[in-house]
Structure 1
């Protein structure tokens, strides 16, 4: 026997597979492991709806805030500024400023601008409204996915279903507390707004109706700590969470958790300008329509950073920071359907899949040994190595194993054996033709290569397409079959060839083709 580079690579591949698959096989505390999907370990299945009409209102409100800041920066005097779900209307004191505001409006995508003397109206086109609604759904999917990733859940499924629905599947959610926390994190709007307190009328807030407040351009908000406390703030915010770049949990002097946030360059400029001209007045920190604090501005605040304090636990503060970092939802979402998948279903699925996998595996091994003798044993070693490598690669990447993924492994077993069958048959044919063992092995691998590569490459292309366009469990199937194909090419083509090269002299010396290849002569 002599060593060759093929057998060395094969041995290293086996060691790699055994070492990195061990944590998953034996559920060891250390090391990376394969996680089980929703269909195998149970979890939470939700179907969410999106109130897209709210995204349009939010867009108009954001435009109104931009107009207000633009006019203040350009020293443009506005007599009235009103907005609703239909659009924005403002009246200027100086007719010479109309063109400036008009040019600013025309830069807004999808804006329809109407000018009558000093009065300017803006509304959104039907195409822009539709685009905003579709963007709200896409943004909700991305935001929910980001939040769940930071939450620590492995491979959550978040995908669009139909036109305005979102499918969310969370594996491993087993307790009511975990479910409640996940649902709150998903549904939380996390809409941060910094709003000016109406100092002139705030003393009348408890006797003022919402309609009267609206007539002054104000809105009445409740306090986050005490719902009985009311705040009268300007309806158009100074800035909102779209300008937020980071949020982290910190602690105050009494060791109570708070949220520290940072703003981008534009937000920092707006924040600095407002605080500079509002010394002695109050600024309300509003989150999801509730006032968390309303401190007095003592001086101009530069640097674009602030804090949100409130009566919440460290865990609640962490979840709030996650929601702020991942971005606010453009439109509220609501629960349409919820199903809890029990672990018993997962156990049944695992048991049935394991029976199929082990049963098929054992039958293949028996067939290969009976029909191909020692060549079959060599093929079986490659097959076992193939399974270890698949599990090791999935463990390293922290992949999620689903029921379709297990089906992909079963299919890979068949494909890996198929390659060895083709090679063994080519070698047997060449031995029948009277070729030497050396030539039969070399030409057998050379002749089988094209058929094996064609089959594996076409299957790999199909798997890539499934992964690119599939969702959830389909991706799991595509991942396992892709890894399996690449592993089988390493083990079946390179590995077994190295074994034959190592044993070549022994095979020639024995002259027992029945023992080595299952053929007489």
Structure 2
């Protein structure tokens, strides 16, 4: 109806005003950005006069959500990393060895003595003392396998066991390798995201690409080298029994042992057992702290499983050294003084405060399940982003002016109503982007420019229908009412098909395509809202005031 009830007028006006209010901080982007950054810094590091001034630069009672700028607009770092998934196979076999050893020990009368021997990466080979017991050994080890709970690997087992002579070989099945690869990539993406989020960067884009690669884009970071130092460390923490200590870098560690350098004492090496007692995966928390001498350290806490294993080992090995190993370096090898039942402890070493903070971040975020090899790296300067913003701004202004001029010249006063709704429409897009915390990229600006051109399509359909109704000698009010009613189905049909296209682009596309799809989808929703409600409300208010006998569209 042309006559809007009061509740509907208030609802349309209220929704529009709230969303435009959410868009307003983007007009003062640098000031609001300093305000938000200062608040986050105060929460973590305390207040300073400079931070207090930045906080006071924007009223706390106003919204402060901003549209995040993507890598191509803000500058930052880009990395393409390849995850070495084969490393995980070797770790899985190492983890299987204690189970295989204990199971075969129970069958010693049949299989004889057992000994693990060197094998290719991803395989576990065990030599048994009695080759005639191979059939029983195979049966026992196959009983350790577990079913794979995936759609593609339904009914399959996670390991394959074979025997030749007196050597039993165990390796992951092909179905388990595929499942392991998928879990490794998902885990790596999540760990990288945690590490990047720890340093407070805005809206990083971390996505899987193909079977073994990850694309990492972090706006606002200084360089690709800085990003690599943050995420490139595996941060693999283990607690291993110490066999010996030496100064010979070429010393033979022996079977199933490792020779690792000391992080603190240059020229000192530790021979440790390869099988860890507890790993960093069982950590639940890590925080920077200080030891009893006031030196920077890192305190940690294990989960119940890790706490039990840590407690049992310290109870049974009082007086023995215990190596804390980080990325194949012994950072500390303290002697166990007493039973530690609580599953908590402290990592000491020659740390600076910054190093202890960084180590705590890495351990808290978790260890990367496999090493990453960086295939591509780029640093995008903020100057390029500024040029992109300027180009996008010019394109938007040109499109805006052209559309405004066309609508005014074509439809006169009604075109002016459509132009007001178009300005409101762009404000609504930025308001919604701020509300959902979306990231604006250069393709996203292209989506906004496209929306500016498409936004008036609905008004064109309505105005042309009003022209047709006026030709049938209907009154102005009835012509406007029928124009909106008869154009509504065409407006909805046209915009639904375009919105479905945006949804498909978002679901199947990569980062830049998704940025375009988000702004296009939001633009479609705001365009329909403005055409059906905002423009119609403007015409209704004007008609109530003027009561014209005739109108020209």
Task: Please indicate the TM-score interval, normalised by the length of the shorter structure.
Answer: 0.7 to 0.9
Q: Answer with 75-84 or 302-311: which moved more.
A: 75-84
1:390 corresponding residue in structure 2:
429
**Residue 359 of structure 1: CA displacement?**
0.7
Relative to 1, partners in 2 of residues 1:308 and 1:180: Cα closer, same or farther, differing over 3 Å?
A: farther
Of structures 1 and 2, the one with the larger relative CO (CA 8 A, separation 6+) is 1
Aligned to 2:228: 183
Distance of aligned partners of 1:326 and 1:23 in 2 relative to their CA distance in 1, 3 Å threshold:
same
Secondary structure of the 1:213 match is coil
Q: 1:194: Cα distance to partner?
A: 1.1
Task: Please report how far the alpha carbon of residue 288 of structure 1 lies from its aligned counterpart in structure 2 after TM superposition.
Answer: 0.7
CA distance in 1, matches of 2:499, 2:473: 36
Deviation at 1:16, TM superposition (A): 2.1
Aligned residue for 2:272, secondary structure, equals: strand
Paired residue for 1:16? 18
Deviating more after overlay: 7-16 vs 439-448: 7-16
Change over 3 Å in CA distance of 1:432–1:486 after alignment to 2: same
Query: Does the residue aligned with 2:82 lie in a helix, a strand or coil?
Result: strand
* 8 Å contact from structure 1 (residues 4, 502) kept in 2: no
Q: Could you tell me which residue of structure 2 aligns to residue 151 of structure 1?
A: 199
- Cα 1:255–1:435 change in 2 (3 A) is farther
In 2, Cα distance between the equivalents of 1:86 and 1:379? 67
The equivalent residue for 2:73 is 40
In the alignment, which residue of structure 2 is the partner of 1:195? 240
TM-score, normalised to structure 2, is 0.82
Q: Tell me whether 1:259 sits opposite 2:298 in the alignment.
A: yes
Is 2:220 the counterpart of 1:172? yes
Contact 1:245 1:325 in 2 (8 A): yes
Residue ranges of structure 2 left out of the alignment (5+ in a row): 36-63, 148-156
Residue 253 of structure 2 aligns to a residue in which SS? helix
User: How many Å separate the matches in 1 of 2:196 and 2:361?
Assistant: 9
Structure 1: runs of 5 or more not aligned: none
Deviation at 1:410, TM superposition (A): 1.0
What is the distance in 2 between the residues matched to 1:72 and 1:279? 27
Q: More displaced, 428-437 or 473-482? A: 428-437
> Match of 2:338, SS?
coil
1:501 CA drift (Å): 2.7
- Tell me the CA shift for residue 36 of structure 1: 1.5
> Within 2, Cα distance between the matches of 1:70 and 1:239?
21
Q: What TM-score results when the alignment is normalised by the length of structure 1? A: 0.87
Q: CA deviation at 1:226?
A: 2.8
Of the three residues 427, 451, 459, the one matched with 2:490 is 451
Question: 1:257-313: per-residue Cα shift (whole Å, max 9, x none)?
Answer: 433333333222222222222222222111111112222223332233333233334
Q: CA deviation at 1:120?
A: 4.9
Which is further off, 374-383 or 4-13?
Answer: 4-13
Instruction: Please say if residues 69 and 270 of structure 1, whose CA atoms lie closer than 8 Å, have aligned partners that are also in contact.
Output: no
Aligned counterparts of 2:98 and 2:351: Cα–Cα separation in 1: 30
Which shifted more, 402-411 or 7-16? 7-16
Contact 2:161 2:170 in 1 (8 A): yes
1:433 positional shift: 1.6
1:464 counterpart = 2:534: no
Question: 1:409, CA displacement in angstroms?
Answer: 0.6
Q: Is the 8 A contact 1:6 1:498 kept in 2?
A: no
Residues 427 and 102 of structure 1, relative CA distance in 2, 3 Å threshold: same
Partner-residue secondary structure (3-state), 1:122: strand
Contact 2:101–2:114 (8 Å) recurs in 1: no
Shift of residue 133, structure 1, vs aligned partner:
4.2
Q: Distance in 1 between matches of 2:211 and 2:146?
A: 29
Post-superposition CA distance 1:210-252 (Å, at most 9, x none): 5x3133x321111122332222211111122232333333333
Match of 1:80 in 2: 115
Equivalent positions of 1:4-153 (< 5 A) are: 4-27=6-29, 28-29=31-32, 30=35, 31-64=64-97, 80-82=115-117, 84=119, 85-90=121-126, 102=141, 105-107=144-146, 109-114=157-162, 120-153=168-201
Could you tell me how far apart the structure 1 residues matched to 2:230 and 2:542 are?
61
User: Is the Cα contact below 8 Å between 1:412 and 1:485 reproduced in 2?
Assistant: yes
Map Cα deviations across residues 7-41 of structure 1 (whole Å, 9 max, x no partner).
32332233223322222112233412112211112
**Residue 42 (structure 1) shift:** 1.8
Q: Deviations over 1:106-129 (max 9, x none)?
A: 238431224689975422334544
Residues 1:265 and 1:75: Cα distance change in structure 2 (over 3 Å): farther
Superposed displacement of residue 352, structure 1: 1.8
> How far off is 1:496 after superposition?
2.0
Deviations 1:375-397 (A, max 9, x none): 11221121111111111121233
